[in-house]
Structure 1
């Protein structure tokens, strides 16, 4: 990897957390990886939560979920902010004895523990136009700091040890003053029939000064050694997308490319997690890392039939909602 790329990875992972601020803030660093062939995946998240006007209640949160077929193993632990470090000039986040940096992640929650290493030769992927990462809009920011991260190491759950070898996923960095009001988020780090293709897509509704927007869709695709950034603000409104529990379709088009996609999973593939909102209250995150994705691609400079890409069970699929178990059937943990 070039030195310039290493510096870029470090910079996008610098913490934005200001401990003395009263505005309210969250920031998370998460890694996810999928088994090369089986329906297995992990998701691990290191987070700081700072409620608005109550900096004395700032804390760290450590999350772990392992997906094994249709069995899901979630865990969470909270830490006093005094036990946490979120450096602003280098990337080495600590929650007690647990840590994540640009090459390793270690941690333990009761009988669950992990020791992972990872590498990536890909440049960061910016879901938003880069000028929007500075300033108040939108209130939630997201970067894929290390796409196509390749993981090794192990997970332990009680007496069970899971060896991680050549699992592929990503390392990601999210932050903001409040969570997006309602969204579906998807990510594929290599399709089954196109391992070098990376997809990052969101369909969301925002509440701007009391007015709810229609569904807005943002998409970034790296395919055939080209980067397609369908994420400019004017495209948010022309890109199409809609979702329910648990099926999502989207469609985007430019002069260079036409895309149609579908992401779906069964209810058994989701775990329900409660995300505290810095501005007050909480959101329910329905989280799967073993969803399926179908993507039809027509590049204008390519003749012939559209390309049909698929991922049987390596797609990340999250839904953020205010609705409870009575609406979607997923138990909300923690």
Structure 2
């Protein structure tokens, strides 16, 4: 990025009074593809209510064992002033007075508890992976300036987890689960976006892939869909974000399906990610300026990837333990909204 700041350093300035959303998240996938865990810590600040920013803790335990979806989604909210978000790197902490709810995320470990009504998710996890981030935007100024309004990067694209999670009293052992840690921020959520990530395959493959496509509003104009793709194959990172690569890249975003393709001189890639309606959890993502974004979130998506590095035979792999998120302003999306 050619920036001195750590990829996980918080970007929110409470003194600015500006619209701001920011998220740190972890996801881990059961190798069998039957379960997954998603944990997120967020900041929400609106210029309409200066001086009242919020911190939020989210967790989803995805579970489709036995062919029946039994997902549990929980969320709690507290004043930003009661939370810690580190200015130097990954350092998030808070406790909610009068309850056992809490959140702690730092390099290498996370623990916490979030309750909502009759549901509870508690976790105590360690994670390990190489700190070589995926940086999809091609210019450092795009991370510092106002455009695009949504910034994203992945400080840890490939992690291995250990530890345990308690989901409504049931203990899950996460030993050997693969996953990642991401960070995004900006003035609001894109009007339409798709994001996917996968590093758990049905066959052996030293491959991690992440892609995103989005449309944002610049004044009254909605930009065309822009697609950016990152991959790491056998230790080599490929990023399709040069001018010609962006012009050639293609993305197609539906409410249950996302496909993309990209090519450059070093490699080409194409992929399709799909999720059943029952494998998606709907989340409300309000924007500081008013409109609602509906996040259709699945960590149990199917993925089909074809990757071909120059001079090498193509690698074709499949997964049923992939992440897929669709962000839409369409309230008639047909997915059950949880939190």
Deviation at 1:139, TM superposition (A): 1.1
SS at match of 2:176: strand
Q: Does 1:264 align with 2:264?
A: no
Deviation at 1:13, TM superposition (A): 0.9
Deviation at 1:300, TM superposition (A): 2.7
Higher mean C-alpha deviation, range 124-133 or range 262-271: 124-133
Deviation at 1:31, TM superposition (A): 0.3
Q: Does 1:120 align with 2:119?
A: no
Q: Does 1:144 align with 2:154?
A: yes
Separation in 2 of the partners of 1:239 and 1:271? 28
Separation in 2 of the partners of 1:207 and 1:233? 20
State how many pairs are aligned: 322
Deviation at 1:10, TM superposition (A): 8.4
Residues 148, 190 of structure 1: 8 Å contact kept: no
RMSD: 1.9
Partner residue in 2 for 1:3:
none
Separation in 2 of the partners of 1:251 and 1:287? 22
The alignment's TM-score, normalised by the length of structure 1, stands at: 0.91
Mapping of 1:114-263 within 5 angstroms?
114-131=123-140, 132-263=142-273
Separation in 1 of the partners of 2:247 and 2:191? 17
The gaps in structure 2 that reach 5 residues or longer are: 96-101
Deviation at 1:299, TM superposition (A): 2.6
Q: Which among 255, 280, 286 is matched to residue 296 of structure 2?
A: 286
Residues 263, 292 of structure 1: 8 Å contact kept: yes
Cα deviation 1:65-96 (Å, max 9, x = unaligned) = 01111321101100122211112124311132
Residues 36, 62 of structure 2: 8 Å contact kept: yes
Q: 1:199 to 1:90 in 2, by over 3 A?
A: closer
Q: Does 1:103 align with 2:112?
A: no
Residues 200, 322 of structure 2: 8 Å contact kept: no
Partner residue in 1 for 2:39:
44
SS at match of 2:58: strand
The gaps in structure 1 that reach 5 residues or longer are: 1-7
Residues 127, 200 of structure 1: 8 Å contact kept: no
Partner residue in 2 for 1:87:
86
More strand by share: 1
The alignment's TM-score, normalised by the length of structure 2, stands at: 0.90
Partner residue in 2 for 1:27:
22
Separation in 2 of the partners of 1:126 and 1:169? 17
Separation in 1 of the partners of 2:19 and 2:123? 30
Residues 279, 298 of structure 2: 8 Å contact kept: yes
Q: 1:333 to 1:57 in 2, by over 3 A?
A: farther
The runs of at least 4 consecutive aligned structure 1 residues that moved more than 6 Å come to: none
Residues 31, 200 of structure 2: 8 Å contact kept: no
Deviation at 1:63, TM superposition (A): 0.4
